[in-house]
Amino acid sequence: MDMVVQGSEWVRRNFFGSIFDAALSILALPLTAYVVYLAARWVLVTAQWSVIGDNLRVLLTGTIPVAQEGRAWVAAAMLLAMFGATLGSLFSTRHTVWHASLAILAGVAALALIWSGASAAGGALGSAGAFAAGWAIAGEWPVLARGIGLVWLVGLGAACAILSPAGTINWGGLLLSVLVTAIATLLSLPLGIVLAFGRRSGMPSLRLACTSYIEFVRSIPLISVIYWAWIVVPLVLPPNYYVQDLVRGIGGFVLFYAAFVAEYVRAGLQGIPRGQTEAAQSLGLGQIDLNFRILLPQAIRAIIPALVGNVLDIFNNVPLIFIIGLTDFLKAGQTILANPQYSGSQYEVYAFLFAAYFVIGSLISFTARRVEFAMGVGIR
Amino acid sequence: MPDKILPTPNQRSVDAAVARATINWPKLSLSGGIGQAAVLATLLFGAAAAVLLVRHGLRMHGIPFTFSFLSQPAGFEISEGVTVESVGAWLRLAPFTAQDTNLQALICGLLNTSIVAAIAIVLSTVLGILIGVARLSSNLIIRQWSFLYVEVIRNTPLLIQLLAWYFAGVLKLPPLSQALGFGGVIASQQGVSLPSLSAAASPTWWFLLAAALLVAISHRARRAHLPLLIGYDGALLIAGFGVALYGSPVLPDFPVASRFSVTGGINISPEMTGLILAISLNSAAYIAEIVRGAIQSVAKGQWEASAALGLRPGQALRVIILPQAVRVVIPSLGNQYVSLTKNTSLGIAIGYPDLFNVYGTVANQSGRALEGILLVMAVYLGISLGISGLVNIYNRRVVSKGAR
């Protein structure tokens, strides 16, 4: 009985709080139901999802030759293991993020089974296993969690080495998007930290240089920075020397996002009470010890949610490398549509890409929110 | 008798630290003059080295560094947009043609960028405020829909939104012969056409209108006790005379679709429609979050006090809460406008001739990629600084007005 009263009270408060609300509800409820019905009917009945299953390889790994496909799977499993380890160093396995990630991986494996048969499902399950293993290991050995930056550095290097026989020109799809995101995140962090300290430095010349760099980069579009990095590098090198497009593109990302990281780090440094600096100085710590042992760890801890948000920002902007001719996840979808055989499947391909991006992006921003919550930064 | 206290290890280390802090170690102070000079020298050396490296590279590749391409004829067409043309001592706007110079092509691109940015700023602000308020609605459905909207937009790349709006949206509209019409607006694969106003009256009318405007302005400026015919009444009277004598000053100009083209009204190309749609709807989600945060930052007591004074929630929002939220909102809104303007550079993905897209063509045609990108970056820097400057001025005015 109580439940019924509470339930009706909840309904009244949320749908019929005022006459205006009631009118809105009467209008919006059937409309919502209709939209949900239309969407469900399209997804389940009308849409021809075979285009995704037929091209899943291109969507996930680009044009890596079939003979080298095993390398892509190994690299993907390594990346997932490192993601697992990163999340595992932030959360325990009892956490919602753990359940959410596992549910999504299980869903992906199920979809792979439906669309591409047992081998793809096996690959997806293997990757899920790597993810879970990474998480468990990081939970078991906290030392791994503390050195997570080093783990990523070594792991990304190894993943690139494993993939390199396939030729960077063939790297593509979701794998490339994730790789670029990870490398850009990892490399922009140290550069951003240096810039942030430069901007706070007591030396006017250094301060001016760092401030101008940060403000300049922040006020121009990313696409122009990528393009710039792409154009300038060959000009500086001798004519017969060649740096791969991918490397130049990632260089653009690093130069661009370092400016944003610098601003986050600066905000973090500003949030540290002055007493910390004074205490360190009164203990006789030098400038370098003060900055890197006292201030930086506290600043980084405070800005982890913002840095996770930055990862989402990078991931969402990776599609811009189409400008230098690389095939990321989104471009892979467009490539499929360029094939006359699939040109009629526009809605299906875009819906799939949208859904995939949305799931990954939501997971990242959900993680950021959880981290913020876990650290009590959001609650004052 | 007090024993001599033996120093514990802990105390010893504290003593040592105190000693270290007090003893004046002969150290090289990095923030001193020598350090300054060293850093300055390193920076200058680095910059000079970079410039020399690029110059050396250019020479090695046999490419000169020159801006002379700006005055050479472009030799390509731009699908839409106007550029600046000099006629004698005057400058005027004219459609871009292949005979115009590369500089004029870039100006055309800049104008196209500015148009999209200006329209998108207005649209996204209006929509963003609506959605931001809806995020706090007491109605669950409205609240959840706006939440879903914000999440979907913010968690997916802008580029896929743009491509979806263009390829799966605008280009999937019916052809012009079966164009959708709604309240004078025509929408088809060939873009959107809006009704416009065209000046159809005699010049005398415009003199009268100008006079009315002047009178109204003088009223506003002085707000004094002035005789008849000065003030809004006077302005209305003059305008009334005009209508009585010469008819309406402007006539609505409705677009009419024939089989292959639209005549009349304002025509917006499919590319521009797609870009404006994508950027406005994307930016609206971010603005909604800014607005929501600002509304929530207004103290709860303000709502309660308004309710106690008998204001309805809607009234309280309009009269009490939003004016206070505006002050919190402006700096973040300025940042959002800058990022919106930068985002127009994605127009290249759907072939809208914005600044970056035109630059790409110019670079291809003239081979002057490096000079061009420096120019384009400088222009974007200028736009960003301009927007932040304007927002800062407005912010200062609003804050000083609301200062307690």
Q: Which of A337-341, B261-265, B320-324 is most confident?
A: A337-341
Per-residue pLDDT band at A376 (split at 50, 70, 90):
low
In A152-175, which positions are buried (b, 16+ CB within 10 angstroms) versus exposed (e)?
beebbeebbebbeebeeebbbbbb
Is A6's pLDDT higher than 80?
no
Q: In the prediction, which pLDDT does B158 show?
A: 95
Average pLDDT of the segment spanning A139-160: 84
Please determine, for residue B9, whether its predicted confidence score (pLDDT) is greater than 60: no
Confidence (pLDDT) at B225: 55
Helices within A141-244 (DSSP H only): 142-146, 148-163, 173-200, 204-218, 222-236
Confidence of residue B98 (pLDDT cuts 50, 70, 90): confident
pLDDT for res A14: 75
pLDDT band at residue B287 under the 50/70/90 scheme: very high
| List of chain B residues whose C-beta atoms are within 8 Å of the C-beta of residue A221 | 342-343, 345, 356, 380
- Is some CB atom of chain B closer than 8 A to the CB atom of A13? yes
Task: Work out the minimum CA distance from B169 to partner chain A, whole angstroms.
Answer: 10
A117-131, A326-340, B349-363: range with lowest mean pLDDT: A117-131
Residue A311: closest CA among chain B residues belongs to which residue?
Answer: B155
Cα–Cα distance for residue pair A337/A350, rounded to 1 Å: 10
Query: If you average pLDDT over every residue of chain B, what do you get?
Result: 81
| Facing B380 at nearest CB: one of A220, A281, A350 | A220
Candidates B144, B159, B361: best to mutate against A (most CBs of A within 10 A) is B159
Tokens of A141: 């050995």
Among A118-132, B67-81, B196-210, the range with the most confident prediction by mean pLDDT is: B67-81
Q: Is the pLDDT of residue B8 over 60?
A: no
Please give the structure tokens belonging to residue B185.
């607006």
User: Which one of A287, A330, A365 has the shortest CB-CB distance to B30?
Assistant: A287
- Give me the mean pLDDT over the B354-375 stretch: 89
Chain B CB within 8 Å of residue A21 CB? yes
Q: Confirm or reject contact between A290 and chain B (CB < 8 A).
A: no
Burial A229-252 (b: 16+ CB within 10 A, else e): bbbbbebbeeeeeeeebbebbbbb
Nearest to B155 among A17, A350, A361 (CB): A361
Regarding predicted confidence, which is higher, B101 or A370? B101
Please give the ipTM for the structure prediction: 0.88
Where is pLDDT greater, at B195 or A350? A350
A10 contacts chain B (CB < 8 A): no
Burial of residue B39, with CB atoms counted within 10 A of its CB: 0-12 exposed, 13-18 middle, 19 or more buried = buried
Q: Of A221, A282, A319, which has the smallest distance from its Cβ to B160's Cβ? A: A319
What pLDDT score was predicted for residue A93? 66
Cα-based distances in Å from B40 to A212, B28, B43: 14, 17, 5
Q: Which residues neighbour B112 within 8 Å (Cβ) at sequence distance 6 or greater?
A: B80, B81, B272, B347, B352, B353, B354, B355, B358
Confidence band (pLDDT; 50, 70, 90) for B2? very low
Tell me the nearest-neighbour CA distance from A298 into chain B, angstroms. 23
B400 versus B398: the higher-pLDDT residue is: B398
Q: Which residues of chain A are within 8 Å of residue B385 when distances are taken between CB atoms?
A: 219
Whether A330 sits inside 8 A of B139 (CB atoms) is: no
pLDDT exceeds 80 at position B233: no
B373 contacts on A by Cβ (under 8 Å): 224, 227-228, 231
Comparing A219-233, A310-324, B161-175, B252-266, the range with the smallest average pLDDT is B252-266
Please answer yes or no on whether B155 and A239 come within 8 Å at the CB atom. Answer: no
Choose, out of B27, B163, B289, B352, the residue to mutate when testing the contact with A (most A CBs < 10 Å): B163
Determine the residue of chain B that is closest to A330 in CA distance: B160
CA atoms within 13 A on the CB side of B137: 25
Distance between CA B18 and CA A101 in Å, rounded? 52
Residue B239 vs residue A45, higher pLDDT:
A45
**From A228, which residue of chain B is nearest by alpha-carbon distance?**
B373
The confidence score (pLDDT) of residue A46 equals 84
Q: Distance between CA A334 and CA A218 in Å, rounded?
A: 29
- The C-alpha atoms of residue B133 and residue A132 are separated, in whole angstroms, by 41
Contact state of B168 with A284 under an 8 Å Cβ cutoff: no
Among B54, B154, B157, beta carbon nearest to A236: B54
Q: A250 vs A39, A78, A86, B140, CA distance in Å? A: 38, 20, 22, 43
Confidence class of residue B354 from pLDDT cuts 50, 70 and 90? Answer: very high
Kindly tell me if the per-residue pLDDT of B298 is higher than 80. Answer: yes
Position with higher pLDDT, B143 vs B261: B143
For residue B146, what are its two tokens? Answer: 């706006």
Please name the member of A220, A228, A232 whose beta carbon is closest to the beta carbon of B381.
A220
Residue of B17, B53, B141 with shortest CB distance to A25: B141
Q: Which of residues 209-248 of A touch B (CB under 8 A)?
A: 209, 216, 218-224, 227-228, 231-232, 234-239
| A13 contacts on B by Cβ (under 8 Å) | 138
How much is the average pLDDT of A144-156?
84
Instruction: Give percent of chain A above pLDDT 90.
Output: 31
Q: With an 8 Å Cβ cutoff, is A354 touching chain B?
A: yes
The pTM of this model reads 0.84
Q: Is 60 exceeded by the pLDDT of residue A312?
A: yes
**Which of B152, B160, B168 is nearest residue A346 as measured by Cβ atoms?**
B168
Query: Tell me, what amino acid is at A156?
Result: L
Does the pLDDT at position B12 exceed 70?
Answer: no
The sign one gets for the Cα dihedral A63, A69, A75, A80 is positive
Mean per-residue pLDDT, B200-207: 66
Given a cut of 70, whether residue B64 has pLDDT beyond it is yes
For chain B, percent of residues with pLDDT exceeding 70: 82
In chain B, residues with a C-beta closer than 8 Å to the C-beta of A234 are: 57
In chain B, what residues touch A365 (CB-CB under 8 Å)? 151, 154-155
List chain A residues with CB under 8 Å of B21.
281-284
Residue B249 confidence (pLDDT): 64
User: Residue B201 has what pLDDT?
Assistant: 56
Query: Cβ–Cβ of A357/B157 closer than 8 Å?
Result: yes
From chain A, pick out residues whose CB is under 8 angstroms from the CB of B164: 350, 354
**More reliable by pLDDT, A34 or B176:** A34
Q: Look at A71-75, A177-181, A195-199 and tell me which has the smallest mean pLDDT.
A: A71-75
pLDDT confidence tier of residue B65, bands split at 50, 70 and 90: confident
> What is the rounded CA–CA span in Å between residue A337 and residue A341?
8
Predicted pLDDT of residue A370:
80
Range from A170-174, A297-301, B63-67 carrying the lowest mean pLDDT = B63-67
pLDDT tens for residues A34-51?
999 999 999 888 888 888
A276 touches chain B (CB under 8 A): no
Taking only Cα atoms into account, the Rg of chain B, rounded to an integer number of angstroms, comes to: 31
Query: Average pLDDT for residues A59-64, to the nearest whole number?
Result: 85
pLDDT in tens, B325-339: 888 888 889 999 999
A144 compared with A165, residue with greater pLDDT: A165
Residue A26: predicted pLDDT:
83
Q: Of all helices (H) and strands (E), which one includes residue B87? A: strand B82-87
Quickly count: other Cβ atoms within 10 Å of residue A121's Cβ. 18
Give the residue-averaged pLDDT of B77-106: 86
What pLDDT does residue B353 have? 94
pLDDT at residue B222 in the model: 59
Model pLDDT for residues A255-274, shown as the tens digit of each residue: 999 999 999 999 999 888 88
- B7 — pLDDT class (breaks 50, 70, 90): very low
Phi-psi region of A173 (alpha: psi -120 to 50; beta: other; left: phi over 0): left
Disruptive mutation site among A350, A367, A380 for chain B (greatest number of B CBs within 10 Å): A350
Return the higher-pLDDT residue of B54 and A37: A37
